Amino acid sequence: MSRGTGIRVNVAADGVTESLPEEHKTCIYRVVQEALHNCVRHSGAGMVRITVKQREGDIYVLIQDDGHGFRPDVERGLGLIGMQERVTHLGGTFRIDSQIGRGTLLAITLPLEKPLSPAPLVSHEYDKDPVG
């Protein structure tokens, strides 16, 4: 990417296992791909830093650029929406922080196991003896 766009890309992966679930690998790849595409197309960035850390129970991806930033509360295109949907589909969190003149930081966290759906609340009042 650096040769084709002039944007320097620094990637640091810390303790990431090769045995990630395929869904996670695909999600991370697509999110990074879209974020880099957005940097090239919109940010005016000279450098992008990508950090991937596997922690106990989750994997964390941080993508930070030194571009001119934007207002994510107002300017949300289909690319950002698609990234967020991919992440939330896997039970993860998606956060984007950007301000005009300060670049953009995109952070996702994916649980390494899908969270279980919470058990429905059940009242067992009917089990009590009405006579008592």
Structural contact between residues 118 and 89, judged by C-beta atoms closer than 8 angstroms = no
Q: For residues 57 and 114, give the distance between their C-alpha atoms in angstroms, rounded to a whole number.
A: 10
The CATH number of whichever domain residue 97 belongs to comes to 3.30.565.10
Q: Is residue 129 part of a domain?
A: no
pTM: predicted TM-score of the whole model, two decimal places: 0.78
Q: For residues 117 and 57, give the distance between their C-alpha atoms in angstroms, rounded to a whole number.
A: 17
- Supply 105's token pair: 């930081």
Q: Is residue 118 part of a domain?
A: no
Cα separation values, 73 from 30, 38, 48, 64, 125, Å = 22, 16, 22, 18, 46
Q: Is residue 21 part of a domain?
A: yes
pLDDT of residue 3: 67
* CA-based max dimension of the chain: 82
- Supply 93's token pair: 């969190």
71-82 pLDDT, tens per residue? 887 777 788 899
Q: Is residue 53 part of a domain?
A: yes
- Supply 57's token pair: 């129970």
Would the pLDDT of 114 be above 70?
no
8-42 pLDDT, tens per residue? 999 998 788 888 889 999 999 999 999 999 988 88
Domain that holds residue 100: 2-113
Q: Is residue 51 part of a domain?
A: yes
Q: How many domains does the chain have?
A: 1
Cα separation values, 70 from 27, 67, 76, 81, 113, Å = 24, 9, 10, 15, 33
